[in-house]
A and B are shown apart, each in its own frame.
Chain A
């Protein structure tokens, strides 16, 4: 959260168009400012907003800071030089072990999972046009958890199989929710409420799977179900790393179309966007990102819900700000994990407990401010 505060504090007098406070966003016309970057032939032309760049840079700085603190502190303190040496491959034996075997895989996993969840949430919130339409609320994450848990408890499968199970579970849930909403539109509170119902059903499935397990398995499964980064190895980091490396560029490529879809189906169609196909592809990307993240760490709450919203607010972006969202998600999850590790030091608390508490409070705040902003 430091990142958020820093960015907010460093931002000068907010310009009228860039602060989407509930009241101002509607009253004032949105002024598009920034610099247009074109290739010489004009084949590629991008609008670069100064504020977005500043926020992205600030997030990157925060990311490096969090990484630094995570890698240097802990039960065994290291200096920055020692860490760098270990990372480049010529550290001492113990520093090498601590950094490359214990801390780095966990950190990389946290960063990738955070980014994956945030982008997944950003896409879904954009498609549904609802800040509550994130994969954790409308049940996709729980669906992935069911898929993964079946593989863990029943089939005792490998990491790849768990990821596959999570993907199947997530896609099946998305399909089910989609079928349930046919003819009712996917926007508005109704989708969220149906999703909560689906989520509750899937939670019951999870509880059932847990009671079928032995005590030790149940404890592990429960820690996984709440979302944990403990004992993550390079296999986990690689699994989510590959998923992010493939899916994130795809999402960024489609983000321009996504901002046109946000303007409404008719406008988007007039602008030459195949709405149905764009939405379907983006939905699959979103579900896949959430599913792989879930497969690696279990369902972590709140990142997908809050990171895109916070990123959007501080960049003042009119469309889905996928890159800042991804960075924000990475920072948030790494920071939560750091807090959980350091604040409750000897105990091994899963990171999901921290994000769950904070996320619930954020959701409460969202409800309170929504209610002030006239009743929808």
Chain B
């Protein structure tokens, strides 16, 4: 990464504790691997810490020692039920959704070589939610379990639309064009969603809390439902990482290095669709996680996609669960939906990235 982008990254809000040491340069070679490995361990520690925080902090104040005891020895008391039936599934869901969104963002940025790519900004999450709106309003599907297929279909349609629009001819889309294309698709879908929901107040009430992105009220079943899709998407993404490294030097260079460009792109798109669709079906459209996290990861480990993916998978849930906890603390006695908190964290970062003198292609 260039010096300039480093400076900008320095202005980012850094919601993660101890994930990295911003002053240390990303070194290379053998020491580099050790440094990156250490960073990974730190990120994991941060994740565990945030996870515990998420289990401990909530509407019902429970002392930490009690939380800790009940966590390991469920005793059927009220506290135990709260912890085991509500807070732990919620945290696990945050872990799952965060991982999916972070990885999807990293994947999208690598595929489009676009620093502004984000499933939220490019309309993919809204595509998924349009699928869900159709499912709720027309097919009367009430359980999030049924949403997932519709979300996947919507995400796929939206992402194909945005990429076709954003890329002009055979050239790769410029960062700005892609964002504007995303805004166009978002506008259409947004109007479409609300047209349907306002005609159907019952669907509106059901949709109201789902749409801003929330981790509340979705438990075991949803975790189990979205897990297979996210797992498949995750495996595809990780397998693709080395090819994406080669593609970072341009299509021709990638081809010369033995990468099947078309197949890599197609598989990558499938992975993005699986990850975004499942995450959105589970928690509603949550924006900006996929935007911010890969930038933080690249700032720490440099451009190697394998490391960027690994870091993104760990940092994203820290950000998402952290935002969820923050939303619960700030919104007490209610809560602020996590999608709103991530927008407050992510949008300034997005603007800071846009203001860079030159939007470097990744």
Which A positions have Cβ atoms within 8 angstroms of B? 132, 137, 180-181, 184, 189-190, 192-194, 196-198, 200-201, 203-204, 207-208, 210-211, 215, 218-219, 222-223, 226, 301-302, 344, 347-350, 352-357, 359-361, 363-364, 367-368, 371-372, 375
Given contact pairs A207-B337, A371-B177, a sample of 12 additional A-B residue pairs in the complex whose CB atoms are under 8 Å apart: A196-B121, A203-B343, A204-B339, A211-B208, A211-B337, A226-B198, A301-B187, A354-B191, A356-B188, A363-B184, A367-B181, A375-B168
CB-based nearest A residue for B288: A200
What is the minimal beta-carbon distance from A239 to any residue of chain B, in angstroms?
24
* C-alpha spacing A215/B343, complex, angstroms: 23
For residues 160 through 204 of chain B, which have their beta carbon under 8 Å from a beta carbon of chain A? Answer: 165-166, 168-169, 171, 174-177, 179-181, 183-192, 194-195, 198-199, 201, 204
Structural contact, B350 and A197, CB atoms closer than 8 A: yes
Is B355 an interface residue when CB atoms closer than 8 A count as contact? yes
Which of B185, B186, B199, B201 is in CB contact (< 8 Å) with A219? B201
Structural contact, B165 and A196, CB atoms closer than 8 A: no
CB-based nearest A residue for B214: A211
What is the minimal beta-carbon distance from A248 to any residue of chain B, in angstroms?
27
Structural contact, A357 and B347, CB atoms closer than 8 A: no
| 24 CB-based A-B contacts, threshold 8 Å | A137-B183, A181-B355, A189-B174, A189-B176, A190-B176, A192-B180, A193-B179, A193-B354, A194-B355, A200-B288, A201-B347, A201-B351, A207-B337, A219-B204, A301-B191, A302-B187, A349-B198, A357-B188, A363-B184, A364-B165, A367-B165, A367-B166, A371-B169, A375-B168
Is B116 an interface residue when CB atoms closer than 8 A count as contact? yes
Main secondary structure of the interface of B (DSSP, over half): helix
Structural contact, B355 and A200, CB atoms closer than 8 A: no
CB-based nearest A residue for B350: A197
Residues from chain A with Cβ under 8 Å of B165 in the complex: 364, 367-368
B interface, how many residues as a size bin? Answer: 35 or more
Which of A201, A356, A359 is in CB contact (< 8 Å) with B343? A201
Given A208-B336, A226-B191, A375-B174, answer yes or no on A360-B354 (Cβ-Cβ < 8 Å). Answer: no
* C-alpha spacing A266/B329, complex, angstroms: 54
What is the minimal beta-carbon distance from B190 to any residue of chain A, in angstroms?
6
For the complex of A and B, list the 8 residue pairs with the smallest distance between their C-beta atoms, beginning with the closest: A356-B191, A360-B188, A371-B168, A204-B343, A353-B195, A201-B347, A360-B187, A189-B176
Which B positions have Cβ atoms within 8 angstroms of A? 116, 120-121, 165-166, 168-169, 171, 174-177, 179-181, 183-192, 194-195, 198-199, 201, 204-205, 208-209, 211-212, 287-288, 336-337, 339-340, 343-344, 347-348, 350-351, 354-355, 357
Which of A184, A211, A368, A375 is in CB contact (< 8 Å) with B355? A184
CB-based nearest B residue for A352: B191
Residues from chain B with Cβ under 8 Å of A348 in the complex: 198
What is the minimal beta-carbon distance from A313 to any residue of chain B, in angstroms?
19
Given A226-B194, A360-B191, answer yes or no on A204-B184 (Cβ-Cβ < 8 Å). Answer: no
What is the minimal beta-carbon distance from A133 to any residue of chain B, in angstroms?
11
* C-alpha spacing A363/B188, complex, angstroms: 9
Structural contact, A375 and B180, CB atoms closer than 8 A: no
Residues from chain B with Cβ under 8 Å of A347 in the complex: 199
Residues from chain A with Cβ under 8 Å of B185 in the complex: 360, 364
Structural contact, A367 and B188, CB atoms closer than 8 A: no
Q: Of B171, B176, B354, which is in contact with the most chain A CB atoms at under 10 Å from its CB?
A: B354
Structural contact, A196 and B208, CB atoms closer than 8 A: no
Residues from chain A with Cβ under 8 Å of B168 in the complex: 371-372, 375
* C-alpha spacing A347/B197, complex, angstroms: 12
Residues from chain B with Cβ under 8 Å of A204 in the complex: 339-340, 343-344, 347
What is the minimal beta-carbon distance from B339 to any residue of chain A, in angstroms?
7
Structural contact, A353 and B194, CB atoms closer than 8 A: yes
* C-alpha spacing A357/B168, complex, angstroms: 23
* C-alpha spacing A302/B199, complex, angstroms: 21
What is the minimal beta-carbon distance from A304 to any residue of chain B, in angstroms?
13
Structural contact, A367 and B177, CB atoms closer than 8 A: yes
* C-alpha spacing A341/B174, complex, angstroms: 40
* C-alpha spacing A211/B350, complex, angstroms: 24
* C-alpha spacing A245/B180, complex, angstroms: 34
Which of A180, A201, A349, A367 is in CB contact (< 8 Å) with B199? A349
Given A201-B348, A211-B209, answer yes or no on A364-B184 (Cβ-Cβ < 8 Å). Answer: yes
What is the minimal beta-carbon distance from A355 to any residue of chain B, in angstroms?
8
Structural contact, A196 and B179, CB atoms closer than 8 A: yes
Structural contact, B184 and A200, CB atoms closer than 8 A: no
* C-alpha spacing A198/B204, complex, angstroms: 26
Structural contact, B191 and A353, CB atoms closer than 8 A: yes
Given A350-B198, A364-B165, A371-B169, answer yes or no on A194-B188 (Cβ-Cβ < 8 Å). Answer: no
Residues from chain B with Cβ under 8 Å of A363 in the complex: 180, 183-184, 187
Q: Of A137, A180, A348, A364, which is in contact with the most chain B CB atoms at under 10 Å from its CB?
A: A364
Given A137-B183, A218-B208, A357-B195, answer yes or no on A375-B344 (Cβ-Cβ < 8 Å). Answer: no
